[in-house]
Amino acid sequence: MRKLALLLGSLLVVASASAKEVVPAPVVVEEAPVQVIEKEVIVYRDKEEGFRPNGFVDLQYRVYGETEGQDKVGGDNWNKNNNYGRLQLQGKINMTEKQSFEYRLRTYDSLNSDLTSNKDDQLRLRYNFNHGNLGDSKVNFTSRVQYIKDSSYALRYEARFDFVDYMFNNDFIKTTEMVVAPYYEYTWNREGEEGSGDNYDNEVGLYANFVNELPYGFGFQVELDTLGFHKYGDKVHGVDNGNKKSDSNTDAAVNVYLTYGANLYSNEKISVDFFAESGYDSYTWSDKVKENDDHLGYSLKTDPQVTLTYSATPTFKVYATVGAEYRNWMKTSESGASNWRWQPFGIVGFKSTF
C-alpha cells in the first residue's frame, strides 16, 4: 500500500507539472515620438520681362532706269524722271508701349553727269501716341504728329480711329486695318525759299485706310489719301480757277491697290520672293483747275518685282530687288490718260531690327 501511495503521489506531481503553461513575460516597447519637420519650399518662376524699346533701321539705294522708248521720243513725253537714284534711310523706334517715332529721309541724284534730278529731297518725321480704346468700345485712338520738309514745309496732326475689330473676318478675308483720321495740316513756303509771308495753306481734311488680306497671297487696299479743304494765304498763292486765281479749294485723292506676294524659294538663310502692286496711284479730283483742264485724273500702275534676301543673323538682313513699273507717267487727265510705259528699277539695302 505504501508503495502504491508513493507511485500515485509521483504521478500526481508529474501531471501537475505538465498541466502548467509557461507564459513569457510581456516586453514593453516605448515608441519614440514622431517629430514633423517642415521645410521651406522655394518655387522659381520666370520673371516677366518688362517693355524694352525696339524697332528697325532700313537703308537702301534705289536706281531708276530709262523709261521704255524715252530715247526715241525725247523730252518729257513718256516720263520726265529717268536715270536717277534715290538713297533712303527709314526707321521706327517703339519708345514705350504707347509711344513710337518714325523717320524717313530721301535724297535724289542724277545718274547722268550733265543733268540734275527733278525730285526734291524729303525728310518725314512722325510721332505716334496710342491712347488705347475709346471707353468700352473696340475703337483704338492714336494721335499722330507729322512733319515733312521737301520744297516746302508741312506740319500735320491726325486723330486716327481704327475700327478693325468691328470689321468682317473669316478664314478667307482678314481685315488688318480700318482707319479713319480727320486731320489739320499747315503748309508754308509752298514755292520754296523765295515765297512771301502769305505763301501758306491751311487744310482741314480726312484720311482713311482700309486693308484686307485675301487668300493665296493676295491683298486689297483702299486708301483715301486726302479729302482736303484748303484756305490759302491769298489768291496770288492760291490755285488756278479757270483763267483766274482762287484762295480756296477742295480736292481728293484715292489709291486702290491689288497686291500679290509669293515665296519662290527659301532655306535657313536665303529667301526669294515675288511681289506686285497694281491699281490706281492715285485717282484724283480737284474742284478748281486751270481753264480747259479736267477736274478728274488718274495714274494706273503695276510694279512686278523679285527680291533676294539674305539673313546674316536673326536681326540683320541684306536684300536686292529687281523690277519694273508700268504707268502712265505724264498724261494723267481722265479724258487723255495714255502713254503707259515701263521703267526698270533696282534696289540694294539692309534692314536691322532691335
pLDDT averaged over consecutive 10-residue blocks of the chain (354 residues)? 52 50 56 64 72 97 92 70 96 98 97 73 98 97 98 97 94 95 95 69 98 97 98 90 94 98 97 99 95 93 99 98 96 88 98 98
Written as nine digits, the cell of 333 is 487727265
Quote the pLDDT of residue 4: 47
Quote the pLDDT of residue 197: 72
Quote the pLDDT of residue 91: 98
Q: How many residues does the chain have?
A: 354
Quote the pLDDT of residue 69: 83
pTM: 0.83
The answer to whether the beta carbons of residues 296 and 285 sit under 8 Å apart is yes
Residue 194: half-sphere exposure toward Cβ, Cα within 13 Å? 0
Cα 231–Cα 193–Cα 241 angle in degrees, nearest 5: 35
The sign of the dihedral angle between the CA atoms of 12, 13, 16, 17 is negative
Quote the pLDDT of residue 36: 60
Report the alpha-carbon distance of residue 142 to residue 127 in Å, rounded: 10
Quote the pLDDT of residue 67: 92
3-state SS class at 239: strand
Cα 18–Cα 20–Cα 24 angle in degrees, nearest 5: 125
Cα 82–Cα 84–Cα 86 angle in degrees, nearest 5: 135
8 φ, ψ to 5°? -65, -40
